[in-house]
């Protein structure tokens, strides 16, 4: 292993640590390149591993956003039920355990706004903003809570309707992204003489680099799209 590959491996490890990403995928890619005893393969494995780590972290982010949205839905449904019983937003929030030490007239709205900021769900955030207007100018809070609940449920229904198509699309992109790596691995195992002849040329090194870069680019774009869609909650 050359000093350049070692420096890149160390940089990737530090980068993943700073980003909070799993270092497993770059480590596996580096190990496969090490098994091939080729610096270009190790570099390609590291680059591809970073792309896979980014995708894995994006999928975890999506899962957390789904959990936040579910919590917001449960909160609004429970808040609506308790509001009908207690008659005030402050009373409903107290019943749910969300109490404020403030004694200002808008203390309940501030508590709801803090919860909305923590979950970062748009429907809940809008409910928290409008609740103060309803209190100041009078009106029924029930339609607002019903709208917030319905808005989240509609979003979940739309995502569920396209879930099968979305999962199939992601699986296809992953397969296409990993296909170049698989082809190189097959040549290494089944036609080692051809692989060694290729790996000893400048064009071969460039092809190995392109393999890792292609995988990293495809998984990187997919991870960006997953995060973009997950933020819209």
The residue extents of the domains of the chain are: 3-62+177-231, 67-161
Q: How far, rounded to the nearest angstrom, does the alpha carbon of residue 10 sit from its chain's CA centroid?
A: 25
pLDDT, averaged in runs of 10, over the chain (233 residues) = 77 87 86 78 86 91 91 89 80 70 65 84 86 74 88 87 82 83 78 75 79 87 88 75
Q: How far, rounded to the nearest angstrom, does the alpha carbon of residue 226 sit from its chain's CA centroid?
A: 6
CA distance 200 to 150: 62
Query: Which single residue is written with the structure tokens 């009078």?
Result: 138
pLDDT at 102: 56
CB of 208 within 8 A of CB of 199?
yes
pLDDT at 104: 60
Name which of 160, 90, 121 is nearest 82 in CA terms: 90
Contacts of 113 (CB under 8 A, 6+ apart): 125, 128, 129
pLDDT at 105: 57
């Amino acid at each position: 292993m050359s000093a350049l590959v070692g420096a890149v491996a160390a940089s990737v490890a530090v980068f993943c640590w700073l980003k909070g990403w799993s270092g497993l995928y770059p480590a596996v890619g580096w190990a496969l390149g090490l098994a091939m005893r080729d610096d270009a393969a190790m570099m390609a494995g590291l680059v591809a591993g970073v792309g896979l780590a980014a995708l894995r972290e994006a999928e975890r982010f999506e899962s957390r956003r789904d959990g936040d949205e579910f919590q917001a839905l449960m909160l609004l449904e429970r808040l609506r039920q308790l509001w009908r019983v207690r008659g005030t937003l402050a009373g409903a929030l107290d019943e749910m355990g969300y109490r404020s030490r403030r004694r200002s007239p808008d203390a309940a709205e501030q508590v709801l706004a803090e919860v909305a900021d923590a979950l970062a769900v748009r429907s809940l955030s809008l409910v928290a903003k409008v609740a103060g207007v309803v209190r100041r100018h009078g009106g029924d809070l029930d339609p607002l809570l019903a709208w917030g609940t319905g808005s989240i449920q509609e979003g979940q229904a739309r995502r569920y309707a396209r879930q099968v198509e979305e999962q199939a699309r992601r699986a296809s992109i992953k397969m296409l992204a990993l296909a170049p790596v698989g082809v190189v691995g097959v040549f290494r195992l089944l036609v080692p003489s051809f692989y060694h002849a290729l790996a000893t040329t400048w064009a071969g090194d460039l092809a190995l680099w392109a393999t890792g870069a292609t995988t990293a680019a495809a998984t990187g774009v997919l991870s960006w799209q997953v995060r973009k869609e997950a933020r819209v909650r």
